[in-house]
Amino acid sequence: MCTTKDYSTNQNNTFKDLVAHAQAYGFIYPSSEIYDGLQAIYDYGPYGIALKRNIQNFWWQSMTQLHQNIVGIDAAIMMHPTTWKASGHLDGFTDPMVDNKDSQKRYRVDLLIEAHAMQLTEQSKSLEAKALIETMETYLQEADLIGLDKLIQTSNIICPVSKTANWTPVRQFNLMFSTQFGAQNDATTVYLRPETAQGIFVNFLNVQKTARMKIPFGIAQIGKAFRNEIVARQFTFRMREFEQMEMQFFIQPGTEKEWFDYWKKTRIAWYKVLGIPDQKIHIHPHKQLAHYAADAIDIEYNFPFGFKEIEGIHSRTDFDLSKHEQYAKKKLHYFDPNSQKHYIPYVIETSVGLDRLVLMLLSNALINQKVVSESEAAHGNRTLLKLPPPLAPIKAAIFPLLKKEGMEEKALAILDMLKYDFPIVYEANQSIGKRYVRQDLIGTPYCITVDHQTLEDETVTIRERDSMEQYRITIDKIAHLLHETTNIKSLLVQL
């Protein structure tokens, strides 16, 4: 029997704890860490990628399996360069930069100011450094170029090469990464896509015709996007290479308000199914709209560093299809068999960052609690990842109590029986208590122990992660238990 004190969701982790946990227990590492990393680029470890894939599957299935009128595609990362002229990204997807007239060197304004703030900190002027960064972030958010100009001047920031403060005015800098395509002599500049959405827009007619879709219908896609972010901080919250899960929903013009509301409600319900408490989710209506949007909201999650955007829902009108029609000189009309009219559809977009979802789920799940457990003889604090079981990287861990007397063979036979349906780990070293701790840290919902009694009556001990409760079931019931509680289906049916 187990008694726990203070067992409520006692989420008291700081952001530092979260980052340390993600790195220490195989979820997320800085990219190329042995070379001191690459700023704002991260790699996923064994448990991180499993968590990410489970979230992906849940999103993909909730879009394409639960909606008969939504189909998926996988478009290429590199697209014809005119795509970005048409979409407005070549001209409008920018951040501020500045040149030094003496050294002829160009700097991103945030990096220049950050380097100066670092020097101030080294000179024990931390408060001044903090104020400088805060002011810079306000100006960046407001795209206040004159404010940034003045900040560089009043802070006496000099060029590290020429050592002078002879700066040009601050100008905008495009966030798209570019590369050369083709032979060196006549290479064309192509861009790494800054959003996956354009791959959907340019395929609108291909999909509509080949999959025989009728409006209203949606196209979903999961894929990498790249942005040379100017403020790349807060771990995986703002990355330069990240993954988006986007769905463009093509509708009849005039129905955009109704569908905007539908997708707002549908997407918020999705977060509830993930167990995110109401008070941790915010809707933030946009005051300043992106160049393509007629209406937009952000869904925000309360991270340890405050409420921040995880998903955007945008009413994009016919902006993108009209622009592509104009630049490609190809008709992107839809013929509506009901009204017998041709029109360019309007679009409602749902766009969520997969890496931000991983961070949100880790943040929501990382718990430190006081516990008194008689059955585990555990007292004091324990740390666990209370992930929804269908998203947990490992569904169950199998332990032989001892590595002898046939327990190891029996535990391995159970592993063999379950491994085709579930990600399971086998662990035979250290005490059972230590093995429980290790699985709690990576969020495994069940531990299964094979002991002396198993050899007599074919029962095992199940220990549950969240309640620490222990009970016996027969071996033939394990698969059913895991199916019922750890399958993505158990989330889908709640939508």
Among 95, 110, 256, 311, binds ligand GAP (CB under 6 A): 311
Shortest spacing between CB 410 and ligand GAP, in angstroms: 46
Tokens standing for residue 249:
């929903």
Name the pairing type of β-strands 241-251 and 346-353.
antiparallel
Q: Is 274 in the site for ligand GAP (CB under 6 A)?
A: no
Q: Residue 292, Cβ neighbours under 10 Å: how many?
A: 21
Q: Which of 264, 261, 194, 200 is nearest to 229 (CA)?
A: 194
Nearer to ligand GAP, 2 or 293 (CB): 293
Among 52, 193, 238, 382, binds ligand GAP (CB under 6 A): 238
C-alpha distances in angstroms, 364 versus 164, 279, 355?
48, 12, 14
Q: Is 110 in the site for ligand GAP (CB under 6 A)?
A: no
Shortest spacing between CB 240 and ligand GAP, in angstroms: 7
Shortest spacing between CB 482 and ligand GAP, in angstroms: 31
193 within 8 A of 77, measured Cβ to Cβ: yes
Among 17, 99, 300, 309, binds ligand GAP (CB under 6 A): 309
For residues 450 and 409, give the distance between their C-alpha atoms in angstroms, rounded to a whole number.
10
User: What is the length of the chain?
Assistant: 495
For residues 73 and 174, give the distance between their C-alpha atoms in angstroms, rounded to a whole number.
27
Among 140, 247, 251, 310, binds ligand GAP (CB under 6 A): 310
Q: Is 102 in the site for ligand GAP (CB under 6 A)?
A: no
Helix axes 126-141, 145-154, angle to 10 degrees: 160
For residues 245 and 453, give the distance between their C-alpha atoms in angstroms, rounded to a whole number.
48
Shortest spacing between CB 319 and ligand GAP, in angstroms: 12
**Alpha-carbon dihedral angle through residues 11, 17, 20, 26, given to the nearest 10 degrees:** -10
DSSP code at position 61: I
Q: What are phi and psi of 273, to 5 degrees?
A: -60, -30
Single out the segment in contact with ligand GAP by CB under 6 A; choices: 74-82, 111-119, 236-244, 319-327: 236-244
284 within 8 A of 307, measured Cβ to Cβ: yes
Shortest spacing between CB 86 and ligand GAP, in angstroms: 14
Return the residues of window 189-218 that contact ligand GAP according to CB under 6 A.
195, 197
Return the residues of window 341-380 that contact ligand GAP according to CB under 6 A.
349, 351-353, 355-356
Q: What is the CA angle 255-344-312, rounded to 5?
A: 55
Among 13, 228, 244, 315, binds ligand GAP (CB under 6 A): 244
399 within 8 A of 444, measured Cβ to Cβ: no
Shortest spacing between CB 310 and ligand GAP, in angstroms: 5
Nearer to ligand GAP, 59 or 167 (CB): 59
Q: Is 312 in the site for ligand GAP (CB under 6 A)?
A: yes
For residues 58 and 291, give the distance between their C-alpha atoms in angstroms, rounded to a whole number.
31
Among 86, 222, 239, 276, binds ligand GAP (CB under 6 A): 239
487 by Cβ neighbours in 10 Å (0-12 / 13-18 / 19+) ranks as: middle
Single out the segment in contact with ligand GAP by CB under 6 A; choices: 48-56, 204-212, 310-318, 481-489: 310-318
Shortest spacing between CB 8 and ligand GAP, in angstroms: 29
DSSP code at position 358: H
Helix axes 15-24, 354-365, angle to 10 degrees: 100
Return the residues of window 46-85 that contact ligand GAP according to CB under 6 A.
none
For residues 176 and 203, give the distance between their C-alpha atoms in angstroms, rounded to a whole number.
21
177 within 8 A of 228, measured Cβ to Cβ: yes
Tokens standing for residue 453:
């009694």
Q: Is 308 in the site for ligand GAP (CB under 6 A)?
A: no
Nearer to ligand GAP, 290 or 328 (CB): 290
Nearer to ligand GAP, 129 or 197 (CB): 197
Q: What are phi and psi of 145, to 5 degrees?
A: -70, -35
C-alpha distances in angstroms, 109 versus 42, 126, 212, 231, 378?
23, 20, 49, 10, 52
For residues 18 and 304, give the distance between their C-alpha atoms in angstroms, rounded to a whole number.
9
Number of residues that bind ligand GAP (CB under 6 A): 19
Single out the segment in contact with ligand GAP by CB under 6 A; choices: 82-90, 135-143, 152-160, 235-243: 235-243
Site string for ligand GAP, 464-483 (x = CB under 6 A): --------------------
Q: Is 242 in the site for ligand GAP (CB under 6 A)?
A: yes
Q: Is 320 in the site for ligand GAP (CB under 6 A)?
A: no
Single out the segment in contact with ligand GAP by CB under 6 A; choices: 17-25, 60-68, 239-247, 480-488: 239-247
Nearer to ligand GAP, 231 or 412 (CB): 231
Shortest spacing between CB 391 and ligand GAP, in angstroms: 17
Nearer to ligand GAP, 295 or 309 (CB): 309
Nearer to ligand GAP, 311 or 451 (CB): 311
- What residue ranges bind ligand GAP (CB under 6 A)? 195, 197, 227, 229, 238-239, 242, 244, 246, 309-312, 349, 351-353, 355-356
